[in-house]
Amino acid sequence: MFVETLHGIARAVFVLPHTGDLLSRQIGVVSGSILIFIVVIGLIKWLGITDRRGLLGVGILWVVMTVVFEFALGYFAMGMPLNEIFASFDPRHGSLMPLGLAFLALSPVIAEAVRR
């Protein structure tokens, strides 16, 4: 979460002014996925989980934590209406967030395969 929070701040400061909101968010999903994968590669051995089911469980837990964080941040800290938060997850509005979340869920499994 810490890395993604810093990533989001950097995206808002350096990318958003040049690309606009939607493209900035789309770029953020791709660059965020790369950052997440780098972190997961570095932590996969520390997790001590090697079976696919356990790794997928960790990835799904991360997805749940990410979605809760996004909703809490948007609703409580930024005062966004819930329909706007839901729209930020909706591919019909151009969001790539579902792809990023799918990658997040699978990243421990992929990282373990790469590590081997």
Model pTM score? 0.90
Q: How high is the pLDDT of residue 6?
A: 93
In contact, 61 and 70? CB cutoff 8 Å:
no
User: From residue 95, how far is each of 27, 32, 79, 100, 107 by CA, in Å?
Assistant: 10, 14, 20, 10, 20
Q: How high is the pLDDT of residue 103?
A: 97
User: Does the pLDDT at position 116 exceed 90?
Assistant: no
CA dist 10 and 3 (Å) reads 11
CA dist 28 and 37 (Å) reads 14
User: Does the pLDDT at position 51 exceed 90?
Assistant: yes
In contact, 98 and 91? CB cutoff 8 Å:
yes
- Tens of pLDDT, residues 37-49: 999 999 999 999 9
Which residue's entry shows tokens 């799918």?
Answer: 102
Residues near 36 by beta carbon (within 8 Å), at least 6 away in sequence: 3, 4, 103, 104, 107
CA dist 87 and 79 (Å) reads 15
